[in-house]
Structure 1
Amino acid sequence: MEKPRQRGRGNVCCLGVASVLVLSLLSFLIEGISWGDDIQPVIASIKVQGNRRIEESAIKFVLESKVGEAYSPSRLSKDIHKIYDLGYFKDVKVDVSDGPSGVTLTYRVVERPTVEKIVIMGNEKIKTADLEEKLGLKVHSVLDQQAVQEGIQNLKSHYREQGFYFAEVESTLKELVGNQVGLELRIKEGDKLKIEKIQFQGNRLFPEKKLKGVIQTKEKGLISSILGKDLYRDVLVRDDQMRLQIFYQDNGFIDIQVGEPILQINKQAQKVSMTIPLKEGPQYKIGKVTVKGDEVYTQEELANELKSYMGSIFSRSALRQDMQHLSELYSQRGYAFANVEPMTEVNEASRKIDINFEIDKGQKIYVGQISIEGNTKTKDKVVRRELPLKEGELYNSEYLKSSEDRLKQTGYFEEVKVETQRRPGENGVVDLTVKLTEKPTGNITFGGGFSTSASILGQVGVEQNNLFGTGLKANLSGQLGGRRSRIVLGVTQPYFMDLPISAGFSLYDRFAEYPSFETNRLGSEANVGKHLFELVQANLGLKLEKVGLDEIDEYEIPRMAGDGTAKLKTRTDKKTRETYLVQRRATRTILPNDQEENSSTSSIVASLSRSTLDNFLFPTQGSRINLSTELAGGLGDNSFYKGELEMSQFIPLAFIYPLFPSSLWQKLSLRLRGNFGMGGGLGNTGFGKKNEGMPLYERFFLGGDNNLRGYDFEDVGPKARIERFHCSDLVKTSEGLKNEGKNTPCRQYNPIPEIISGDAIGGDYSALLSAEVYFPIPLTLPYVKAMRGVGFFDMGDVFAKGDAKDFFNIFSYRKSMGVGARVLTPMGPVRADIAYRLDEGEKRDDQDQEDQAGRIKFHFGFGNSF
């Protein structure tokens, strides 16, 4: 069957014009023959013919000609155009016939076909669903040739954005029954066009290497191929032109011109060489910098706040930042609508630019009404107490930003936005609207996993952070693991009795396994807290706990030489099931002789903390500082002091970009971390007999996935020296240990004691320093919200009281480095690291011989480490 000829809008327009001419001639004949000059014909009826899908009433609705009105030939032309504008017809004609009652108008229409199906073929690299979205055509829609061509062009553009520079799209329309058509699109994707070489033409000051670091597009290479940066994409190239423009203008070249790239395409090899022409012009420096207008600050104060200063290279970005910063400074003093205009004067002869900031501070602005929207659960007072800005007070932009930050930090809201509106008729007043989107604040969690520090673990928890919309926090959680188990019940009111003071109470039962002992701690803690300054929180609490210390049993037996007694202990080898005697000697620390298996502790705990992290789970900038102290004595058995300082700083590395231009820096963030601790016994103070030394379980330990990676869990620091004497048939009697059936002492079985690996016994001082560089990992995985990689370097150590001098010798610290990944899941952050220990393994008197081996460690854990 012969394929019917397709007609587009051009044919339709020609038909429309021809129809108008015919109607004009027809009206002339009718007027000249049928009626006299004084008689106007009346429209007796209007008919529509040829319509199948479109209702007749819909067509008549757009007509200007109406039944009963006077006939007008000029209206017929407008009627035809309006029917065409409906978009459903490819041909429209009108017949005019005379009758006894008046004129009859018959509109004859030919409907456009509908697109019954759309078939895309030949695509292998891009999903059909993505192409259908880019095409923009819908099944059962009226065929529009112009829309089809636009859709085809969209597909080609999409392929070029993905690197398929030579992709082609061919279209075919097939007629179907019932005035319907099928649209077939055949795609020839071709190969991706890779960039073989990038050159610059006209660059004088900056070498090509530096300019290549400015742009996103890269030459073909291993890393660029993995990241897909070596593909030629029109969108990225246009963005690179803008990047070069900004880079030059920020380095004093205000007349820079970046031309269109010159492409040399090797179609057979699917490669392209790109040359970017540049016209740099002269480089300008800053001459005078002045600030004129309304003075709220002194000239010296403002000059110290500006990035633009005399003699520096002119930068448009710095100029914009200075303008915004000056506006911010004035708004902090109540001038919310201060106008700052930077005026520049270019001296081409001296190649200097004078800058004058003209400031119109306007009038002081006060806060009017504060409205809250979107808090369907949270009470108004819970929101208002987080707002530093109050009704009637002087406007302060810093407080406005702080209001948003504090509301976000509550964790009650998905989105927070504070909008300002000038009050009509009162120029000095602005009303604030706090727009909130609440999120669920209650959680029931079940989970399990594996951690190198806690072995296999399971956890369950119930938590509500905004109970009854009052801000009250309540939680009950439990965790069961090989080395760590806990049950905690806690309640906290952030604003106790509507005062800016938090109050909390908790009960807990914790089990912990250390290298040489185990602890069971049952206790309670009550605390109060207050914001001393913005973002600075102080807490004071009282802790009472009962601690059970589970160690190896001690027995009195004769010394080998027969002179007196010594405290020895028994231990059973888990592999050989052999029971042997051990004598424990601490080389650089002395275990408390009076440390009892069960003891109580009453202590006062205090802390100061400050956090400016942009995201608690996946921070990229900001800092966190926490200083905590504990003083034990009073009614408990233990008497000691303990202090810890924890610091973390996240720094986006985008500031390196002007020095070493590369888009890589804008994606990296650096984390610097320092944790320090010290403690000791206070002797026999308070009421009753006290354990004089610092309890074993309160000492400092390092090693594992939370701190010093590359080492076993809490295995860094002072060690106990253990001597092992082999015996056989050991039995426990009321008189002590005896060799049943043997009358000879143990010494004759092994005359020379065997020195075996000692267990970590903790220290009185600890130090940990760490540097981490985070980079994004662009992978999409199920149940993964975000993912990033990390490279790290750790160094730290634990010291006994006699080795305090080594605390300041960082070169003697244990060191490790490695790489890892951080994955944000619905259950929280997951950490995985591979660490390489950098120590050569020289043996210290108090260190384990096993430290010589196993320099590569794998660490895995849940949660963040601060």
Structure 2
Amino acid sequence: MVKRARLLALLLLLPSLPAAAEELSFASVRIDGVQRVDRAAVEAVITTRAREPVTAETIDADLRAIYALGHFDDVRAEQRDSDGVPQLVYHVSERPLVRRISIRGNDKLKVSQVRGVVTLRTPGILKTQDLQASETAIRQLYTNEGYYAAEVSSQVEMQGKNEATVFFDIVEGPKVTIDNIHFEGNRVFSDRKLRKFMQTKRWWIFSWLTSSGTYNEEMLQNDLELIKEEYFNKGYVRVKVKQPHIQLSDDRSEMDIYIEIEEGESYSTGQLSLKGDLLESEEVLLKGVQLRTGETFSRELLRKSIKNLNDFYADRGYAYVNVTPLTQIDDDSRSVAVAFTIEQGVQVHIDRIEIGGNSKTRDKVVRREMVLVEGDLYSANRLETSRKRINNLGFFSEVNVDAVAHPDDPTRMDVHVDVKEQPTGTFSVGFGYSSTDGFIGQGSISQDNFLGNAWRLNLAASIGGDYNNYRIGLLDPYFLDRNLALGFDLYKTDREWDEYDVETTGGQIKLGVPLSYENRLFFVYKYEQKEIYDVDPWSSVYIRSQEGRSTVSSLYASISRNTTDFRPDPSRGYMSEFSVEYAGLGGTERFVKTIADHRHFFPLMWDWVFSPHGQIGYLTEIGGQELPLDERFYLGGINTMRGFDTREVGPWQPRGYPQYDESGNLIGYAPSETERDYIGGVKVAFFNFELIFPLLKDAGLKGVLFVDVGNAWGEDEEYFSDMRYSAGAGIRWNSPLGPLRLEWGYNLDPYDYEDKSKFDFSIGKFF
């Protein structure tokens, strides 16, 4: 249309012009044909003015500018004479106004999904480029959903007043699944390995659940880059991953993807050097470079090297440091030399720390987790540490800690801490079940951020056929705004075991003394009154001897270290604790209980985590007094040795049958040959080896494979003698009702009287 408009302009104007470059003047300049478009917008792009000199080139430029507005199908210029007075008229023909958009033929996708990608708007001017872009966007939407063969066309239906309805007609076709992904030319990586690098996957039986196995062009293009990256990390810097070839099956329901690779040769790392602003000697700075001369070149190690150098400078206040690598490839020696250029910039101090988004949590709770304060030198590492510490509070679903340049002074930066609150308390009334405690009615209120002060409040009541528990507790992790935790618990429990019942009423005062962020001392003074009653008369000798009332007055002390990355759900780091409880500060019970516990988390590929856990304990008497029954070590069940019945791993005594004389008087007990009571051990050691992997990441659903090893022993038995073994699998889910665990364990060496397997599950948080 622009070419046609230019031709019309020249044809109309040239007869009245002696030469194309000769100037004219018009008494008036007018625009005809404007209906909906703002006339002022058109006049604003015209340079021709009345009674001012103008050439054919100027008019041609005006025509181009009017057409470029995108509102017109046709633009032309005309010279008119009115009573001998010359006039210039620009004629425009407006494009139709889109009043309605209709989607037809969509059965698999909702109208709202299709409309969401359409670039045309109502009301809006109908533009050919928008129409074509909308068709492409709809086609891409169907491709991303697996309908690779979908066809999209458009139809414009004109109505009165230069208005139009646009119809998008869709022929969806069958959903195309990926049957196979083939590679050609690969020697370094097998086909199977290359497929693992890719996000695009073949269709399999559970693809309906994971949404994999369908073609997504954008994802496939990204996969080509992922494959290149893996080759670059092996030194193949000349690798070429060609565009994939798609082959549809005859019925267009399946496709094969063919990817050709030219690997080339592997290159090693050549000379490494640094230049620019060097804070330390080149030898010192090169220690942060993970590439090594003579070893295989790796782009991943190059990136890590750049980060290490950046962090080295950023942790010394140089927030604007710029590390630029210059690589030089030598094809003759098949090596890559790297020269790092460092521009340190100015040294920066922190000016203000501003906290936002905390509608409930008080500023001081967030601020005391910051390891970077006003006036400090900028440090990237300390900023990240601050973010992790705030995230570890568990109060926020999002935590962002950003350093922002000061508008007036390049040597100062402000730190903005933006958080998004999440629920930290629960109120629940309902019923739960665990294989240990049976059915339990539960009412509880818990708040980990009570009054926004990070106080931990716990009010709970659990009522069941075998277990009743009432508890109230409060812990202030920063008592009087000091780095000191202080709290208390009051509780009453009543538990029924098969052999006896036990009722406990007590309380405890807790004091936490942090040695550092990762290390903590904890002290607990506990006072309990206990009664063991309703003892089965056929119970073992030891259990019968425990009947009656007792009191425990003890002091518990522990030292712990926690280096995990995210404490609510760790994936790396470890937790260690060593504790000693001394009972003998009054009361009737006398004992010392020592426990060492360690759990480690090792991240693996695909968000898998390997987590070994071990615990060793020892219970010793004081003054020759018999050890209390419920302080001994019991193994078996979901929290210790899966695949075994709860509390049925370790020492036992035969049940006793009462013997009577002819007059009916009790004269003693005869030990049973088949029935036994488990009495717990004074020594314990058990180990859990778990492989945890995501099942549905967005839902927080995880699977676990495990192996458990351990036992409990009496005083006259040796540690690690007669170890027991089990293995199994399970599912874990942080459900809205609380943590859910379903785990099945198989006893690898069952005794004649033991079951070969055991299924355990629990839901909710039982206080």
Q: TM-score range by the shorter chain?
A: 0.7 to 0.9
CA contact under 8 A between 1:344 and 1:356: conserved in structure 2? yes
Task: Please state how far the C-alpha of 1:250 moved relative to its aligned partner.
Answer: 0.8
Worse-matched range after superposition: 671-680 or 126-135: 126-135
The answer on 1:768 being equivalent to 2:677 is: no
Alignment partners' CA distance in 2, 1:221 and 1:789: 19
Question: Is the contact made by 1:639 and 1:694 (CA closer than 8 Å) also made in structure 2?
Answer: yes
> How much does 1:604 deviate?
0.9
Which has the bigger relative contact order, CA under 8 A and spacing at least 6?
1
Q: Structure 1 residue 539 and structure 2 residue 522: aligned?
A: yes
> What is the aligned partner in structure 1 of residue 27 from structure 2?
41
Counterpart for residue 643 of structure 1: 594
Compared CA separation, residues 117 and 469, structure 1 to 2 (3 A): same
**Any idea what the Cα deviations from partners look like across 1:341-394, whole Å, max 9, x if unmatched?**
555555544444455656566665443333334445444433332222233334
Asked if the contact 1:92–1:110 (Cα under 8 Å) also holds between the matched residues in 2, the reply is no
| Counterpart-to-counterpart distance in 2, 1:524 and 1:354 | 68
Aligned AA (1:774):
I
Match of 2:170 among 180, 183, 186: 186
1:415 lines up with 2:398 in the alignment: yes
Aligned CA-pair RMSD:
4.1
- Structure 2 residue 732 is the aligned partner of structure 1 residue 822: yes
Q: Are the aligned partners of 1:334 and 1:365 in contact in 2 as well (CA < 8 Å)?
A: yes
* 1:324 and 2:307 correspond: yes
Is the contact between residue 829 and residue 864 of structure 1 (CA under 8 Å) also seen in structure 2? no
Query: Match of 1:405, SS?
Result: helix
Report the Cα distance in structure 2 between the residues aligned to 1:416 and 1:219, rounded to whole angstroms.
36
Give the SS at the match of 2:623: coil
Q: Secondary structure at the match of 1:533?
A: coil
| Amino acid in structure 1 at the alignment position of 2:610 | L
CA distance in 2, matches of 1:381, 1:123: 55
Q: 3-state DSSP class of the match of 1:801?
A: coil
Q: How does 1:552-567 map to 2 (within 5 A)?
A: 552=535
1:673 partner amino acid: H
How far apart are the structure 1 equivalents of 2:74 and 2:355?
58
> 1:808: which partner in 2?
720
- Give the counterpart letter for 2:623 in structure 1: G
Corresponding residue for residue 355 of structure 2:
372
Q: Residue 576 of structure 2 is aligned with which of 598, 620, 625? A: 625
The whole-number CA distance in structure 1 between the counterparts of 2:235 and 2:408 is 46
Provide the residue aligned with 2:629 in structure 1. Answer: 696
Q: How many residues align?
A: 757
Instruction: Name which of structure 1's ranges 294-303 and 337-346 shifts more when overlaid on structure 2.
Output: 294-303
**Aligned-partner SS, 2:681:** coil
CA, structure 1 residues 222+469, in 2 after alignment: closer, same or farther (shift >3 Å)? closer
Q: Deviations over 1:502-539 (max 9, x none)?
A: 21122222333445333222222112212212322221
1:497 Cα deviation from its structure 2 partner:
2.2
- CA offsets, 1:826-854, max 9 Å, x none? 23321112222222x235xxxxx2x1x35
One of 653, 665, 668 as aligned partner of 2:608: 668
Contact 1:617/1:864 (<8 A) preserved: no
Report what 1:548 is aligned to: 531
Question: Which residue of 2 is the match for residue 34 of structure 1?
Answer: none
- Which residue, 167, 170, 182 being the options, matches 2:150? 167
Task: Measure the CA separation in 1 of the matches of 2:726 and 2:130.
Answer: 62
Q: Distance in 2 between matches of 1:93 and 1:777?
A: 65
Matched, 1:285 2:303: no
Residue in structure 1 matched with residue 676 of structure 2 by the alignment: 758
**Percent pairwise identity:** 27
Q: 1:673–1:769: 8 Å Cα contact kept in structure 2?
A: yes
Aligned 8 A contact 2:572 2:601 in 1: yes
- 3-state secondary structure, aligned to 1:620: coil
Q: Distance in 1 between matches of 2:75 and 2:335?
A: 68
Over 3 Å counting, the alpha-carbon distance change for 1:818 and 1:140 in structure 2 is: farther
1:132 Cα offset (Å): 2.8
Tell me, in whole angstroms, the C-alpha distance in 2 between the residues paired with 1:304 and 1:50: 71
**Which residue pairs with 1:563 in the alignment?**
none
Q: CA separation in 1, counterparts of 2:297 and 2:216? A: 32
CA contact (8 A) 1:98 1:104 kept: no
Return the alpha-carbon distance in structure 1 between the equivalents of residues 42 and 725 of structure 2.
Answer: 83
Distance verdict in 2 for CA 1:350–1:826, change over 3 Å: same
Paired AA for residue 761 in structure 1: I
- The question of whether the paired residues in 1 share the 8 Å contact of 2:150 and 2:171 is answered with yes
Residue matched to 2:712: 798
Is residue 400 of structure 2 the alignment partner of residue 488 of structure 1? no
2:621 maps to amino acid? G
Partner of 1:857: 759
Contact 1:115/1:183 (<8 A) preserved: no
Matches within 5 A, 1:289-328: 306-328=289-311
Aligned equivalents of 1:797, 1:623: Cα separation in 2: 23
Q: Which of 647, 651, 671 is the aligned partner of 1:714?
A: 647
Q: CA deviation at 1:638?
A: 0.9
Structure 1: which amino acid aligns with 2:571?
T
Cα–Cα, structure 1 residues 526 and 161, in superposed 2: closer, same or farther, change >3 Å?
same
1:455-490 per-residue CA deviation (whole Å, 9 max, x = no partner) reads 222333334444444444433222334444322222
Of the three residues 733, 745, 751, the one matched with 1:842 is 751
Give the aligned partner of residue 127 of structure 2: 144
1:770-829, CA deviations, whole angstroms, 9 ceiling, x for partnerless residues?
A: 22222222487xxxx4222222222222222222x2x334xx432222222222222332
Unaligned runs of 5+ in 1: 1-9, 30-36, 554-568, 570-581, 655-665, 685-691, 727-736, 844-848
Question: In the alignment, residue 714 of structure 1 is paired with which amino acid?
Answer: R
State the shift of 1:189 in Å.
1.8
Partner of 2:419: 436
Q: How far, CA to CA, are the matches of 1:440 and 1:860 in structure 2? A: 23
TM-score by length of 2: 0.85
The worse-fitting range, judged by mean Cα deviation, of 699-708 and 467-476 is 467-476
Matched residue, 2:43: 63
1:195 and 2:179 are equivalent in the alignment: yes
Q: What residue identity is the alignment partner of 2:713?
A: F
Taking a change above 3 Å as real, the CA distance of residues 519 and 23 of structure 1, as seen in their structure-2 partners, is farther
- Verify the 8 A CA contact 1:721 1:757 in the aligned structure 2: yes
Superposition deviation, residue 217 in structure 1: 4.2
Whole-angstrom distance in 1 between the partners of 2:481 and 2:69? 64
Alpha-carbon distance in 2 for matches of 1:290, 1:773? 43
CA contact (8 A) 1:501 1:530 kept: yes
d(CA) in 1 for partners of 2:332 and 2:207? Answer: 44
- Alpha-carbon distance in structure 2 between the residues aligned to 1:460 and 1:378: 26
In 2, distance between residues paired with 1:353 and 1:104?
Answer: 67
Report deviation, 1:446: 3.4
Aligned to 1:611: 562
List per-residue Cα deviations over 1:617-662 (Å, max 9, x = no partner).
44333333333321111111111111233322222212xxxxxxxx
On the 8 A contact 2:540/2:677 being kept in 1, the answer is: no
User: Is the partner of 1:758 in helix, strand or coil?
Assistant: strand
C-alpha distance in 2 between matches for 1:329 and 1:180: 63
The verdict on how the C-alpha distance between 1:233 and 1:466 changes in structure 2, with shifts beyond 3 A counting, is closer
Cα distance in 1 for partners of 2:528, 2:519 equals 28
Deviation at 1:402, TM superposition (A): 1.8
Query: For 2:586, what is the secondary structure of its paired residue?
Result: coil
**Aligned-partner Cα distance in 1 for 2:391–2:26:** 75
Equivalences for 1:107-256 in 2 at 5 Å?
109-124=93-108, 126-138=109-121, 140-175=123-158, 179-196=163-180, 198-201=182-185, 203-218=186-201, 230-256=213-239
Residue 140 of structure 1 deviates from its aligned partner by 4.5
Measured after TM superposition, the shift of residue 212 of structure 1 is 4.0
Q: Residues of 1 paired with 2:167 and 2:336: CA distance? A: 61
Tell me the SS of whatever aligns to 2:138.
helix
Tell me whether 1:652 sits opposite 2:598 in the alignment: no
- Measured in 2, the distance between the counterparts of 1:451 and 1:273 equals 49
Bigger Cα displacement from structure 2, 766-775 vs 407-416: 407-416
Q: Distance in 2 between matches of 1:485 and 1:288?
A: 72
CA distance in 2, matches of 1:27, 1:520: 115
- Asked if the contact 1:134/1:155 (under 8 Å) is kept, the reply is yes
Distance between the aligned counterparts of 1:312 and 1:280, measured in 2? Answer: 19
Question: What TM-score comes out, normalization by structure 1 length?
Answer: 0.77
- In structure 2, relative to structure 1, the CA distance for the partners of 1:280 and 1:184 (3 Å cut) is closer
Say if 1:521 and 1:169 are closer, same or farther in 2 by CA, change over 3 A.
same
User: Could you tell me how far apart the structure 2 residues matched to 1:721 and 1:552 are?
Assistant: 15
Unmatched segments (≥5 aa) in structure 2: none
